[in-house]
């Protein structure tokens, strides 16, 4: 199997050609189903049932391709009218092992709607293959702010100040609410794909679930964020993307490390 490589093709045709248990982590950001109504790739199914059957097809392949201690992250978005991701999660969790439900807090709302709260998050369903998963909690610690560090160090209940300081400098464990600002139109990182994920978000997913040299698969590579991050972190990667225009975009990003 060729790695650090983008396959231009349909995930459903390409995934079956890959060997069993080859990937430590899989990051899938698939079409959402009628959420991006201007994008033909998001509106290609006749019905919700067709979309769910298609989703089960590629997800079964992903589970086959995952190492026994690996994690499979699947992004999902709810639209103004569509809520099919709720059904997709239920289908996935009926057949595969649930591991976690992570919320990506985009920090800024999007798609202003008049009749409800402004949406500001996306969902990341995390699946596993066995109960023994590799999760590197220390790799995604969040630094304490200076005020918190100062307040804790003043606390007289902690006698060993050096140990306390060391503990505080390590930062706190991240929760499953990942706050990473979404990319604004004028962001330097933005490269023209309508749902490009931020580098910092994908970085957290790769850091918590892989070690250097391990392999990451993204079956819906889009603008190539997973590949760019994996490459920068010294992980191996493989991406699949059907649209040659996006393959070009990802290739260009990889070349320029356009971050």
Can residue 51 be called a binding residue for ligand SAM (CB under 6 A)? no
> Long-range contacts of range 201-204, CB-CB < 8 Å, 24 or more positions apart?
201/104, 202/27, 202/226, 202/229, 203/229, 203/233, 204/140, 204/174, 204/178, 204/180
Can residue 41 be called a binding residue for ligand SAM (CB under 6 A)? yes
Which tokens sit at 248? 């070009």
Tokens 């709260």 belong to: 117
Minimum CB distance to ligand SAM, residue 218 (Å): 7
Size of the site for ligand SAM (CB under 6 A): 19
Phi/psi zone of residue 33: left (φ > 0), alpha (ψ -120 to 50 degrees), beta?
left
Q: Which of 222, 229, 253, 254: binder of ligand SAM (CB under 6 A)?
A: 222
* Closer to ligand SAM by Cβ: residue 41 or 135: 41
Q: Is residue 133 classed exposed, middle or buried when 0-12, 13-18 and 19+ CB atoms within 10 A define those classes?
A: middle
Can residue 223 be called a binding residue for ligand SAM (CB under 6 A)? yes
* Closer to ligand SAM by Cβ: residue 124 or 127: 124
Can residue 225 be called a binding residue for ligand SAM (CB under 6 A)? yes
Q: Which of 193, 204, 235, 253: binder of ligand SAM (CB under 6 A)?
A: 193
Can residue 76 be called a binding residue for ligand SAM (CB under 6 A)? no
Tokens 């060993």 belong to: 160
Can residue 246 be called a binding residue for ligand SAM (CB under 6 A)? yes
Minimum CB distance to ligand SAM, residue 120 (Å): 18
Q: Is residue 116 classed exposed, middle or buried when 0-12, 13-18 and 19+ CB atoms within 10 A define those classes?
A: exposed
Minimum CB distance to ligand SAM, residue 33 (Å): 11
CB 77 within 8 A of CB 35: yes
Residues at the interface with ligand SAM (CB under 6 A): 10-12, 29, 31, 41, 193, 195-197, 220, 222-223, 225, 240-243, 246
């Amino acid at each position: 199997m060729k790695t650090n490589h983008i396959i231009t093709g349909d995930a459903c045709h390409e995934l079956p050609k890959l060997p069993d248990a080859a990937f430590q982590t899989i990051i899938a950001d698939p079409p959402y189903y009628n959420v991006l109504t201007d994008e033909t790739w998001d509106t290609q199914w006749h019905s919700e049932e067709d979309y769910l059957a298609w989703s089960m097809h590629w997800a079964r392949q992903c589970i086959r391709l995952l190492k026994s201690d690996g994690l499979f992250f699947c992004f999902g978005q709810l639209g103004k009218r569509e809520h099919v991701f709720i059904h997709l999660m239920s289908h996935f969790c009926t057949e595969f092992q649930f591991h976690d439900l992570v919320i990506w807090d985009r920090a800024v709302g999007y798609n202003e709607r008049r009749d409800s709260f402004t949406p500001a998050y996306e969902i990341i369903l995390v699946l596993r293959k066995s109960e023994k998963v590799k999760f590197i909690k220390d790799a995604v610690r969040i630094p304490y702010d200076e005020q918190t560090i100062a307040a804790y160090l003043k606390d007289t209940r902690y006698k060993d100040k050096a140990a306390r300081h060391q503990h505080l400098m390590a930062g706190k464990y991240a929760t499953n609410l990942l706050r990473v600002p979404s990319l604004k139109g004028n962001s330097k990182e933005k490269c023209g794909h309508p749902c490009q994920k931020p580098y910092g978000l994908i970085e957290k997913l790769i850091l918590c679930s892989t070690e250097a040299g391990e392999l990451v698969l993204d079956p819906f590579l889009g603008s190539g964020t997973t590949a760019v991050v994996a490459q920068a972190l010294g992980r191996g990667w493989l991406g699949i993307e059907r649209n040659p225009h996006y393959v070009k975009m990802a290739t260009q990003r990889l070349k320029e490390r356009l971050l």
